[in-house]
């Protein structure tokens, strides 16, 4: 199977961070990785291939190197499993006249207009009385955040639609009647009663699967499942034994600032590295020696050249679709910066023929960031930012280049992991 069609399968099955981590585990298991649990003791040896999951939404995986962590460090690829979306704010369904409406909260910064007039699915995890692990589910229900007819509001024509996140984004579940509470809807699909469900974590998502449009991928959640998939593939397909340890870490909560128990600002990566070192026979000194010899590439999507908005990016540092992953630079600290590391990457990429571009925001525009600066600050390790170019970031229907799937995998697998 080509990496492009395999990626589309991964993307379409990963409608929530819970589902993305489940898909990631399946790919890792099929490649011979086995799970370790944060609550148990770990024993590591050279060549160990394992992964650990925190709360179903954040995951790290690694291949322990032959040379010892403290002496050879780690090469880590970081990305994020979450994407901007609508999430139920209350499980109680509102009734407006006879219409059944789900009150939603806005997770991260989706382009709200793009969520209107779409057929929305509902998926996530439920916690059921008497069961320790949550059940993942995909509801059969379809919801709609409906826009207004242009005849009913002159401002829709000029200045154009600007949905109010509190008033206009709630999702219609039924025109007439229906359940009073979302838990009743989900419980009925699982043969449960609503009172059996003790917790829910649900995302709405576009029911339309991702598609190939010419030489581009059109789909939801490319930011940042594109990079998650490339990271997984790079780790699984990395050739041969190396002295250093190779790893990936896919965090939840990037879109809401990373400051949760599952985000890049959490204890997850530091604890995982500490566990790896001590489970390999090292001590606290060895943890810090490992950090000093390690490096991380934060992989998150970059803004590509847009033919209808050429002035939105800087002509000199804007990547183009299908021409390779971009290294990202920011003088304001929006991206992590390690000149020696990016220099080494550019040099090796050129030597082996992997295309690499550059991205930087205009001085007078832009301000998106990534997990890169957070991990650099928390861990103190050499960190840089990179990502494939895309258009319409945070739309429910984003656009990226087909060839950049392989370009990104090659950059991570053949360049970064081989430095
Ligand atoms: Zn992102």
**Ligand 1 centroid to 118 CA: how many Å?**
22
- pLDDT at residue 161 in the model: 83
**Ligand 1 centroid to 80 CA: how many Å?**
7
Instruction: Decide if 168 contacts 115 (C-beta within 8 A).
Output: no
**Ligand 1 centroid to 91 CA: how many Å?**
28
* Residue 306, CA distances (Å) to 196, 244, 310, 400 in order: 49, 39, 5, 11
- pLDDT at residue 2 in the model: 84
**Ligand 1 centroid to 132 CA: how many Å?**
31
For 3-83+220-418, CATH number? 3.40.630.10
Angle, nearest 10°, between helix axes 268-279 and 284-292? 120
**Ligand 1 centroid to 397 CA: how many Å?**
14
**Ligand 1 centroid to 360 CA: how many Å?**
15
**Ligand 1 centroid to 325 CA: how many Å?**
14
**Ligand 1 centroid to 254 CA: how many Å?**
7
**Ligand 1 centroid to 370 CA: how many Å?**
6
* Residue 206, CA distances (Å) to 164, 227, 364, 395 in order: 20, 20, 33, 11
Ordered by start, the domain boundaries in the chain are 3-83+220-418, 85-206
**Ligand 1 centroid to 394 CA: how many Å?**
8
For 85-206, CATH number? 2.30.250.10
- Taken in order 398, 401, 405, 410, the sign of the CA dihedral is negative
**Ligand 1 centroid to 13 CA: how many Å?**
18
Taking the CA atoms of the chain, what radius of gyration do you get in angstroms?
A: 22
- pLDDT at residue 177 in the model: 82
**Ligand 1 centroid to 411 CA: how many Å?**
18
**Ligand 1 centroid to 299 CA: how many Å?**
8
Instruction: Decide if 355 contacts 323 (C-beta within 8 A).
Output: yes
- Annotate 88-147 with DSSP letters as a single string: ES-SBPEEETTEEEE-EEEES---GGGGTT--EEEEEEEEETT-SSPEEEE-S--BB---
Going residue by residue through the chain, which has 419 residues, state the pLDDT in tens, using 9 for 90 and above.
Answer: 589 999 999 999 999 999 999 999 999 999 999 999 999 999 999 999 999 999 999 999 999 999 999 999 999 999 999 999 999 998 999 999 999 999 999 999 999 999 999 999 999 999 999 999 999 999 999 999 999 999 998 888 888 888 999 999 999 999 998 899 999 999 999 999 999 999 999 999 999 999 999 999 999 999 999 999 999 999 999 877 899 999 999 999 999 999 999 999 999 999 999 999 999 999 999 999 999 999 999 999 999 999 999 999 999 999 999 999 999 999 889 999 899 999 999 999 999 999 999 999 999 986 789 999 999 999 999 999 999 999 999 999 999 999 999 999 999 999 999 99
CA 229 to CA 8: how far, in whole Å? 10
**Ligand 1 centroid to 234 CA: how many Å?**
19
Instruction: Decide if 15 contacts 83 (C-beta within 8 A).
Output: no
**Ligand 1 centroid to 19 CA: how many Å?**
17
- Strand 58-63, strand 325-329: pairing: unpaired
């Amino acid at each position: 199977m080509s990496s492009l069609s395999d990626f589309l399968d991964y993307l379409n099955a990963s409608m929530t961070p819970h589902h993305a981590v489940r898909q990631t585990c399946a790919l890792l298991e099929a490649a011979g990785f086995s799970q370790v649990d944060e609550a148990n003791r770990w024993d590591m040896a050279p060549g160990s291939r394992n992964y650990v999951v925190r709360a179903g939404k954040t995951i790290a995986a690694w291949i322990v190197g032959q040379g010892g962590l403290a002496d050879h460090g780690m090469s880590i690829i970081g990305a994020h499993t979450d994407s901007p979306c609508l999430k139920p704010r209350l499980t109680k369904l509102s009734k407006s006249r006879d219409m059944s409406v789900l009150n939603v909260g806005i997770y991260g910064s989706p382009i709200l207009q793009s969520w209107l007039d779409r057929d929305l699915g509902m998926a996530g995890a439920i916690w059921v009385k008497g069961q320790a692990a949550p059940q993942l589910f995909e509801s059969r229900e379809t919801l709609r955040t409906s826009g207004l007819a242009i005849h009913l509001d002159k401002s829709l024509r000029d200045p154009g639609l600007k949905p109010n996140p509190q008033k206009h984004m709630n999702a219609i579940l039924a025109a007439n009647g229906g359940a009073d509470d979302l838990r009743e809807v989900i419980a009925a699909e699982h043969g449960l009663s609503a009172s059996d469900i003790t917790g829910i974590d649900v995302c709405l998502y576009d029911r339309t699967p991702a598609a190939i449009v010419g030489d581009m991928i059109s789909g939801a959640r490319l930011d940042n499942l594109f990079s998650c998939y490339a990271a997984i593939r790079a780790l699984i397909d990395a050739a041969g034994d190396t002295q250093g340890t190779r790893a990936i870490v896919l965090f939840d909560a990037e879109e809401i600032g990373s400051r949760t128990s599952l985000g890049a600002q959490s204890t997850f990566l530091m604890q995982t590295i500490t566990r790896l070192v001590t489970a390999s026979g090292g001590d606290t000194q060895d943890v810090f020696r490992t950090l000093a010899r390690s490096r991380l590439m934060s992989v998150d999507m970059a803004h590509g050249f847009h033919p209808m908005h050429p002035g939105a990016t800087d002509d000199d540092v804007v990547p183009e679709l299908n021409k390779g992953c971009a290294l990202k630079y920011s003088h304001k600290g929006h991206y992590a910066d390690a000149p020696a590391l990016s220099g080494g990457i550019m040099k090796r990429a050129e030597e082996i023929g992997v295309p690499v571009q550059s991205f930087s925001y205009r001085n007078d525009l832009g301000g998106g960031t990534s997990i890169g600066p957070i991990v650099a600050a928390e861990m103190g390790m050499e960190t840089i930012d990179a990502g494939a170019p895309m258009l319409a970031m945070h739309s429910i229907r984003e656009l990226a280049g087909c060839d950049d799937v392989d370009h990104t995998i090659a950059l991570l697998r053949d360049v970064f992991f081989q430095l």
